Amino acid sequence: MSDILLDVQHLSHVFKLSKHLRLNAVDDVSFQMKKGEIFGLVGESGSGKSTVARCIMNIYQPTAGKILYNDINVCDRREFQKHHKMLEERRQIIFQDSTSSLNQRMKVADIIAEPMHIHRIKPPRGRLRAEAEFQLSYVGLDASYLDKYPAELSGGQRQRVAIARALSMEPELLVADEPIASLDVSIQAQIINLFKHCNKEHGFSILFIAHDLSMVEYLCDRVGVMYHGKLVEVAPTAELFSNPQHPYTQALLSAIPIPDPIVERNRKRMDFDEMTFEREGALTEVAPDHFVLRKEDRQ
Amino acid sequence: MDELLKIEHLSVGITSTAGKVQAVRDVSFKLHPGEVLAIVGESGCGKSILCKSIMKLLPKSAKIEGGKIYANGVDITDYSDKDMQKLRGKLFSFVFQDPMTALNPTIPIGKQIAEAILIHEPKLPKEEVYNRVIALMELVGIRQPHERYKLYPYNFSGGMRQRSVMAIALAANPKILLADEPTTALDVTIQAQILDLLKEIQVKLGTATILVSHDLGVVARAADRVAIMYAGKIVEIGTAEEIYYDPRHPYTWGLMQSLPALNKGKAELKTIPGMPPTLIDPPVGDAFACRNEYALEIDYHEQPPMFQISDTHFAATWLLDPRAPKITPPIGGKANV
Ligand SMILES: Nc1ncnc2c1ncn2[C@@H]1O[C@H](COP(=O)(O)OP(=O)(O)OP(=O)(O)O)[C@@H](O)[C@H]1O
Ligand SMILES: Nc1ncnc2c1ncn2[C@@H]1O[C@H](COP(=O)(O)OP(=O)(O)OP(=O)(O)O)[C@@H](O)[C@H]1O
Ligand SMILES: [Mg+2]
Ligand SMILES: [Mg+2]
């Protein structure tokens, strides 16, 4: 077996906005994730990160391209049907907007236990409720929250319920779309430590989508940067942060807010002019494992 | 009177299946014209409920149980929804976290801004409304406003949508803007633009802003003053410099120490041990005591008062009592920078 868990090849997704209007939300994106890797996906708001995540999870059927998961082409209906149960169990997603992804009529305990229930997984701690309590404690909430409804929780508490639900399945691939943006920094740290633990001890691979670049720098092995539906740069984390090549990546990194008022107020950031963006071209290797979107003739 | 908003000993309770949640406990602060006050704190500590209680947008199960809210010197604590309608938009305005839910996807952006203007000035002639919309779009940095007037929210990027939400919130020149995590969903370049916009508006219109945010980088960029909340209470408040360079409350220390910037290369990020107390039965003493490695005996049976450190800096921790043992803070301690 190869060590590639996820192979995204020339993925495109087009939304039809109206009869005449089409939006290339994701445009010819390719990347791979190795088994046990934490891959960060960052970039402009609206650049297509969540759409990539949804295609990977079979929520959207891509317009073009294919996605191989453990060598299974999940975009192929027949192959998907054949491995349906395994795929549903092994891949879990934490949605960017947990408020609308949680069933408002279910109590927290049932929300967390639902996937285990559906897949008839025997809870390691005996009863489903005990398992739900255990998972909840990992995200910093005690048993008193088990009988609450989502509407009775704060934004960050709801988000943590969604995280507990996804982790309870011990997925092979966890797609985490902005999982921590609504949490305070101490709980963010706790969740990130938890992700690291799951990655190290249980071998979870994680696709981590986030705007918080300092957290991405801390957590991820490799990072991809998206802009206007395109993947413009991919590199190992340290390389990307120390040696960004694409002008958009440079602008993005220059805008990372620094938690120091005097420094931050007086800081200049670089701007990226939309008009100068070159959509054409291909990912070109500029350093080992470091790829940048470039026009081919420019080498 | 030089404050726009004065909150005195505000307490809010919410009835739930499990018992009464004391979401806001004895909160007091003032907001001055043209300043940005950031509220930072534990998830679930009551920030959103505090904002909603000021706007009178609390859920039905919640009730103001004590304290006063003064807006422009007028006691609005007991205002009904109808009384508040007159103040919303003009005196107060609100920006929500998710720009998509704040906008109606089926109505062009320009028209939505126009509607916000018409709520407050229903008799304004059409042409003037149009001109005002264009001016607002320009104010929030939407270029080519005439061309974009007729576009729908989905034609806008996340940042443009958030700017549109700001334009709607600012339609009636509010004196006070409550922004609950306005930039959380945006990439850092747009985030910075929106924060700069907030500052610009503050200068141009004299708007005072309450900014709820978890992002200590964002707060550093935008805030004049910072309030740190824990378990329904404000535990520390001061100027941005005081809070970042000379924090005094152990919870504030814990927050600052969790930042990835301070944990580079470490196998684990530092966290605050334990969990926050449930607000159904908050502990008698300091709510942070059981998670506080510097806790004193007294923390377990008596709540600390607000100790004054400077004209602007206050913190509620017994460590500031003259009888307390002297400890070296793990972070900060750079007074008078
Ligand atoms: N269901 C949909 N119908 C039409 N357009 C959509 C839909 N979902 C997303 N889009 C559009 O597709 C583009 C990509 O959206 P996507 O949500 O993938 O971006 P993102 O990178 O996740 O952004 P953010 O960082 O703001 O979450 C955006 O322009 C968005 O407006
Ligand atoms: N409708 C409700 N019924 C019962 N309890 C509620 C309700 N809404 C909020 N709460 C509780 O009140 C407390 C304060 O909630 P609030 O939404 O103000 O938190 P917050 O500080 O905004 O948190 P976050 O940063 O996670 O958004 C929380 O502990 C929450 O569980
Ligand atoms: Mg997204
Ligand atoms: Mg909130």
The residue to mutate among A15, A59, A248, having the most atoms of ligand 1 within 8 angstroms of its beta carbon, is: A15
Compute the mean pLDDT over every residue in chain A, rounded to the nearest whole number: 91
Closest residue by CA, ligand 2 atom 18? B46
Q: Is B235 a domain residue?
A: yes
Nearest-angstrom CA–CA distance, A195 and A208: 10
Nearest-angstrom CA–CA distance, B12 and A299: 64
Question: What own/partner pairs with CB < 8 Å and gap ≥ 24 does A148-152 have?
Answer: A148/A107, A148/A108, A148/B16, A148/B17, A148/B18, A149/A104, A149/A105, A149/A106, A149/A107, A149/A108, A150/A99, A150/A102, A150/A103, A150/A104, A150/A106, A150/A108, A150/A111, A151/A104, A151/B59, A152/B14, A152/B16, A152/B17
Nearest-angstrom CA–CA distance, A159 and B2: 39
Selection from A230, A271, A264 nearest residue A43 by Cα: A230
ipTM: 0.85
Q: Which domain holds residue A19?
A: 4-294
Strand partners, A12: A64
Q: Is B133 a domain residue?
A: no
**Highest mean pLDDT (candidates A22-26, A65-69, B177-181):** A65-69
Q: Is A189 a domain residue?
A: yes
Q: Is B274 a domain residue?
A: yes
Q: Is A299 a domain residue?
A: no
Q: Is A96 a domain residue?
A: yes
Average pLDDT, integer, range A8-23:
86
**CB nearest to A259's CB, from B97, B244, B280:** B244
Name the residue with higher pLDDT: A15 or A236. Answer: A236
Q: Which domain holds residue B248?
A: 1-91+213-310
Atom of ligand 1 nearest to the CA of B157: 29
Looking up residue A180, the CATH number of its domain turns out to be 3.40.50.300
Q: Is B223 a domain residue?
A: yes
Average pLDDT, integer, range A15-36:
88
Q: Is A38 a domain residue?
A: yes
Dump pLDDT digits (tens) for B17-27.
888 999 999 99
Q: Is B64 a domain residue?
A: yes
> Could you tell me what percent of chain B has a pLDDT over 90?
56
Cβ of A157 closer than 6 Å to ligand 1, yes or no, is no
Q: Is B246 a domain residue?
A: yes
Closest residue by CA, ligand 2 atom 11? A153
Band (A101; pLDDT cuts 50, 70, 90): confident
Cβ of A23 closer than 6 Å to ligand 1, yes or no, is yes
Give the distance (Å) from ligand 3 centre to CA of residue A207. 13
pLDDT of A220 strictly over 90: yes
Count of domains forming chain B: 1
Q: Do A182 and B42 touch (CB under 8 A)?
A: no
State the nearest Cα–Cα gap between A83 and chain B, in angstroms. Answer: 34
Band (B336; pLDDT cuts 50, 70, 90): very low
Q: What is the pTM of this model?
A: 0.90
Q: Do B188 and A257 touch (CB under 8 A)?
A: yes
Q: Given this model, what pLDDT does residue B98 score?
A: 62
Dump pLDDT digits (tens) for A124-182.
778 889 999 999 998 889 898 999 999 888 888 998 999 999 999 999 999 999 998 88
Distance of CA B286 to the CA centre of its chain: 23
Average pLDDT, integer, range B270-274:
88
Average pLDDT, integer, range A31-47:
95
Looking up residue B84, the CATH number of its domain turns out to be 3.40.50.300
Name the residue with higher pLDDT: B18 or A228. Answer: A228
Count of domains forming chain A: 1
Residue numbers in A near B98 (CB within 8 A): 97
